[in-house]
Amino acid sequence: DVKVTQSSRYLVKRTGEKVFLECVQDMDHENMFWYRQDPGLGLRLIYFSYDVKMKEKGDIPEGYSVSREKKERFSLILESASTNQTSMYLCASRPWSSGRDTGELFFGEGSRLTVL
């Protein structure tokens, strides 16, 4: 089975802190994604990476950056956490997609971040 592991299920940080959310997948997937989930808003795409060292902005990249140095690991970075970044963060991965056949995503269990 595909396993997508997010390093922390729950985090509490203070405003202004730098926050790292780590995601590791074990199925050699090329594509990886970071979403945030807020009540009533569904999942919104922050960043995605279609291969190592490649990244593209999603719909809400402001205040976030990402790193993909190795194929299995995709990190989300909050440079200076703010209270409006309190949310559930979901990482997902998928085998390479040509874009003409976008297949299913495999999700991690989520990281619930609270910024005080």
Nearer to another protein, 41 or 116 (CB): 41
63 near another protein (CB under 8 A)? no
State which of residues 11, 43, 52, 77 lies at the interface with another protein (CB under 8 A): 43
Nearer to another protein, 17 or 50 (CB): 50
CA distance 78 to 51: 21
Q: How far apart are the first and last CA of the chain?
A: 37
Nearer to another protein, 73 or 112 (CB): 112
CA distance 53 to 46: 16
> The tokens of 95 are what?
């085998």
CA distance 18 to 15: 9
User: Could you list the residues that contact another protein (CB under 8 A)?
Assistant: 4, 31, 33, 35, 40-45, 48, 50, 56, 58-59, 90, 92, 97, 99-110, 112
